[in-house]
Structure 1
Amino acid sequence: MEPLLGPEENRTQSLPLIPTGKGSTEERKRFYQNVSISQGEGGFEINLDHRKLKTPQAKLFTVPSEALAIAVATEWDSQKDTIKFYTMHLTTLCNTALDNPTQRSKMQLIRAAVKFLETDTVCYRVEEPPALAELQKNEWDPIVAWAEERYNVAIGSSTSILGPNIPASTKDTFVSHLASYNMWALQGIEYIITQLKSLILSMGVIDRHITVEKAVLLSRLEEEYQIQRWGNVEWAHDYDLCELRARAAAGTLFVHLCSESTTVKHKLLQD
């Protein structure tokens, strides 16, 4: 593999980062030995052999908290001989927050998240078969009831293909609640929602009401029912389940690390 930086470029202490967008299957031979973090003017930076990481849009890869920087550095440090960019969910989320490729404002992010209520997985119910309808009632009703009590809203559910009729006041309440998060955290919230196809499950995870494993199971309830009834393709089910858990867990960790003001005072990575 050709050197990523020549002798002259090495002095600039910067390192272009290969894009790690959603669905990326990029891999590359590992070209660094040590991973570390440092504090700069704009926040905490990631260093690969003392060269600073950059985003796909060539911005300096800088994150707002030491804890998040350590988590991202751990992703890079855990790569073996081959860098599998598609496994680096925290790095991808940071790239999205820094580059904002869709150029959306905070309110646009919030409204996109709240719009998921109209098609929320746990609000769509079936009437047939009765066993699946009963399973949905038993498993989804409690999380909907929790959300209604937690946020003092009305949500409900529906067997209509049009979905439930979500009151405008409910949407306004969620808009106000999400406005309390910063732009970085909102990117993470939207990421979780797109994985679980549910704002309600996502808020349950973020609020620590349910675990990531539970949220993933609830989001895949109908699929799990069909698998138990008809069986599944060998390995495919377990792989998809693990991938979804990894993405949802990364998004949840990202939100928490972007929302907390405390910093990690101990060094996690050792040279």
Structure 2
Amino acid sequence: MLPSLRAIAARGIFASSAPLIRAVQAAPHTHKRFYAGAAERKKFYENVSISHGEGGFEINLDRKKLKTPHGKVFTVPSEALAVAVATEWDCQRDVIKFYTMHLTTLCNTALDNPTLRNKEQLIKAALKFLETDTVCYRVEEPPGLVELQKNEWDPAIEWAEKRYNVVIGSSTSIEGPIIPTETKDVFSSHLASYNSWALLGIEFIISQLKSLILTMGLIERHLPVERAVLLSRLEEEYQIQQWGNVEWAHDFDLQDLSSRTAAGTLFVHLCSESSTKKHKLLQD
């Protein structure tokens, strides 16, 4: 059996990604925006292993190679990502719950590319969120929420403006702030430094947080997952403090969002790694 993600992190394979791993494992996930197959299937294998193929690292279920929904051999670019995906499969019990396997889903999306998007299109999709970024939209009342947004969101914007040497700002207008063309160009150039797999992960995180600014804070290790999720839910958390909540629903939504966000962040980090080892890495 494969070691757990916690054990792998302890060995140093994932280095500073251990907090992300804990968040990924924290709760079941339900998110169908990205490429995924059936919700559940009876488990049909006993053992999971990793081997090195012509195109990268492959996942083996017993003696059969894992394949994508379109029938391609499931091949990932780094050892660490292969270990993480293999662990998702190894953690399944009697039933394979595909909705808990975000790393597998992201890899399937990258390999099959069902929407036929290239790198330029992925960058444009990410940039669109800058114009409607959660932290840039402000309310005019109630005073408590106005102050909370200023205290919590302003530092995130200030960090991004300083980090990328751009102007972003915020607005109470329903149309949002006017983002300068120069700012968009800077973010476009920065995103172009990532490969297509990492860009897919970035878009996945943005779709969770509804914020390019918070997403880049995560990727740049300026924000931990828990903090980024809290900032993305600031107004909702304020309303809950004022009026209360349905406890189980709130807790599930929070853990679900945290889990998906952590998985996306881990995916981006692992897609930036490379390895050329050509021997079998993990066996039963």
Residues 40 and 25 of structure 1: CA distance in aligned 2, closer, same or farther (over 3 Å): closer
Q: Quick check: 2:191–2:199 contact (8 Å CA) kept in 1? A: yes
Q: What is the match of residue 237 of structure 1?
A: 250
Structure 1 segment 89-108 matched on structure 2, within 5 A? 89-108=102-121
Q: 2:66 aligns with which of 49, 53, 75?
A: 53
Residue aligned with 2:45, SS: coil
Amino acid at match of 1:50: R
TM-score, structure 1 as length reference: 0.89
Distance 1:132 1:70, change over 3 A: same
1:119 CA drift (Å): 0.3
8 Å CA contact retained: 1:20, 1:91: no
| Alignment equivalent of 1:28, drawn from 19, 35, 41 | 41
CA contact (8 A) 2:35 2:106 kept: no
SS at match of 1:235: helix
Match of 2:232 in 1: 219
Shift of 1:81: 1.2
Mean CA deviation greater in 172-181 or 229-238:
229-238
Aligned partner of 1:255 in structure 2 is 268
Of 169, 172, 182, which aligns to 1:159?
172
Query: Does the Cα contact within 8 Å between 1:63 and 1:69 map onto a contact in 2?
Result: yes
Aligned length: 253
Equivalent residue number for residue 7 of structure 2? none
CA distance in 2, matches of 1:39, 1:123: 45
The sequence identity of aligned pairs, in percent, is 77
Alignment of 1:125-164 (within 5 A): 125-164=138-177
Q: Does 1:201 align with 2:209?
A: no
Q: What is the Cα deviation at residue 261 of structure 1?
A: 2.7
Match of 2:84 in 1: 71
Moved more, 260-269 or 227-236: 260-269
What residue identity is the alignment partner of 1:184?
Answer: W
Supply the distance in 2 between the matched residues of 1:129 and 1:24 (Cα, whole angstroms). Answer: 44
Cα pair distance change 1:139/1:22, threshold 3 Å: farther
Give the letter for the 2:238 counterpart: Y
1:61 is aligned with what amino acid?
F
Over 3 Å counting, the alpha-carbon distance change for 1:235 and 1:38 in structure 2 is same
The alpha-carbon deviation at position 30 of structure 1 amounts to 1.1
Structure 1 letter corresponding to 2:82: A
Q: Is the 8 A contact 1:195 1:247 kept in 2?
A: yes
1:207 and 1:20 mapped to 2: Cα distance?
Answer: 25
Q: Are residues 23 and 134 of structure 1, via their aligned partners in 2, closer, same or farther at CA, if it must alter by over 3 Å? A: farther
In structure 2, what is the Cα distance between the partners aligned to 1:186 and 1:152?
Answer: 21
CA offset digits 1:4-59 (Å, max 9, x no partner): xxxxxxxxxxxxxxx99558661111111100011000111000001001111111
In structure 1, the gaps of 5 or more residues are 1-18
| Partner SS, residue 33 of structure 1 | coil
Alpha-carbon distance between aligned partners in 2 of 1:220 and 1:232, rounded to the nearest angstrom: 14
Query: What's the RMSD between the two structures over aligned residues?
Result: 2.0
Tell me if structure 1 keeps the 8 A contact 2:59–2:65: yes
Equivalent residue, structure 2, for 1:118:
131
Q: Which has the larger radius of gyration?
A: 1
**Which aligned runs of 4 or more in structure 1 are off by greater than 3 angstroms?**
19-25, 262-270
Pick 1 or 2: higher relative contact order, CA cutoff 8 A, min separation 6: 2
Alignment correspondent of 1:192 = 205
